[in-house]
Amino acid sequence: SGFAPPTQHVLEKSEVAPSKLNIKLKDVYEPLLSFFRPVTCRRKDEKTLIPCHVGEGLNTTECLKNKCCPSKTGHELKCYMPFKDNMQLTFRLLVLVAGGFLILGCLPFCCCACLQR
């Protein structure tokens, strides 16, 4: 007959599912990682620049697409690695913790209001 056995159909679906799952996990993981590891292109205290190896003949847009910072020294455009932004990390964690405390503080009032009905 022209029909495939049901077990073969299930195997094909299970083979496709993990790759889709990996893509979704990667899409979720990257923003979460960038939230807890903020970077900036602003230099402080004349830190040494670590070159970003993205190729030759770059323009500013290509440099930024590769998550590097453009730096024009003389006539040549160079890309360098961004720096960790500790102030931004502190601010984000402060807002996250304050939001958590706000939710935990409002939770008893919401529970009491629901239980009184």
Q: Residue 41 is encoded by which pair of tokens?
A: 């292109």
User: Of 91, 96, 67, 95, whose CA–CA distance to 81 is shortest?
Assistant: 67
Residue with tokens 């209001």: 113
Q: What are the respective helix, strand and coil percentages of the chain, to the nearest 5? A: 60, 15, 30
**For residue 37, what are the contacts with CB-CB under 8 A and spacing of at least 6?**
84, 89
- Taking only the tens of pLDDT, the chain with its 117 residues reads 455 555 544 544 444 455 555 567 777 788 888 888 999 988 777 778 888 877 666 778 888 888 888 887 666 768 888 999 999 999 999 999 999 999 999 999 999 999 987
